[in-house]
Structure 1
Amino acid sequence: MALPQVEILIDKEKCYLCGSCVAVCPKEAIIIENDEWKFFQEKCIGCKFCVLACPVGALSAKEGE
């Protein structure tokens, strides 16, 4: 059974680029590069581990169709 499609959203005001989300993503759908947070929707499997790992609540998941 496939996980539902989700889009991971970031609140850049809260995020301080700690890398917790990067560390837990099993598909490497998130990277921090040149002091910027980047999300790759095509790699995301919708597990939401990144949302749970964020210590400041900067990430949220928007359910897709």
Structure 2
Amino acid sequence: MTLPRVKILINREKCYLCGSCVAVCPKEAIIIESEEWRFFQEKCIGCKFCILACPVGALTAKEVE
């Protein structure tokens, strides 16, 4: 079974860069550097672990083709 491809979106007003999403991503598709949250679409496998790990609900997923 393959997961649908998704793009992870961030609500920057909610996010306080705690790193919970980074810690659970099995493909290192999210990084925090220089107080900036970055997502790498080409690495994402669509597991959505990052969304579940976010303590403030700052992440959502949008399906992509």
TM-score, with length taken from structure 1: 0.97
Q: Is structure 2 residue 25 aligned with structure 1 residue 25?
A: yes
Structure 2: where are the runs of 5+ without partners? none
Aligned length: 65
SS at match of 1:22: helix
Segments ≥4 residues shifted beyond 3 Å: none
> Aligned equivalents of 2:42 and 2:25: distance in 1?
13
How large is the Cα RMSD of the aligned pairs? 0.6
Q: Percent identity?
A: 83
Q: Is structure 2 residue 45 aligned with structure 1 residue 45?
A: yes
Look up the match of 1:3: 3
Deviation digits for residues 21-63 of structure 1, max 9, x if unmatched? 0000000000000000000000000000000000000000011
Letter in 2 for 1:30: I
TM-score, with length taken from structure 2: 0.97
> Aligned equivalents of 1:33 and 1:41: distance in 2?
17
Letter in 1 for 2:2: A
